[in-house]
Structure 1
């Protein structure tokens, strides 16, 4: 998938599509921000800077402070591809984010979306 068009698409334009998708389903921009920060390690200032500078997806992920260690727990199908089987690292990161946004739009609980461990019974 080297040189895929999405790599050079601005993060800001994709982000606005994410927000529109979740808002159509009754969810919020804050929820999109939460999953973006969780996955990439960007803080609010870093996220805002990425949006203001209109950097592309490749640069956005290259500048990510750290991918969440539980990102590999994200599984499922996005755009007809199983995210856990995508071989291109950048495309996989993009599809991880797509999957998280899909889960927000679908109304999944945030604890599940963020792959938090289940509370242990006492």
Structure 2
């Protein structure tokens, strides 16, 4: 019985969703934005940023749910550990959005667009 509880706990801890801040940007080449005007880059940055914000909220919500399930598994009922699933699809898409924002920023710097990027993801190049 104790073995199953430890195995469930290990599975729960390994399957927890990551915090949105801990998800790294996927590399996206700025070359795909080289034919965009500064206005198009600004509009694209807004759209990608809005999607990234939505995904960050969903990712952090899933992390909270996983934390609650893990706590319940450890303290109350170990089978609850099987409720912890994470959300790899959301995490992957968020990493892609962060990468796109980095690429858009790099393209805007190359074009000297003077677009102000705020709340940049970690690892983003400094302007």
Q: TM-score range by the shorter chain?
A: under 0.3
TM-score by length of 2: 0.25
User: Which structure is higher in RCO with an 8 Å CA cutoff and minimum separation 6?
Assistant: 2
TM-score by length of 1: 0.26
Decide which structure has greater helix share: 2
Give 1 or 2 for the bigger CA radius of gyration: 2
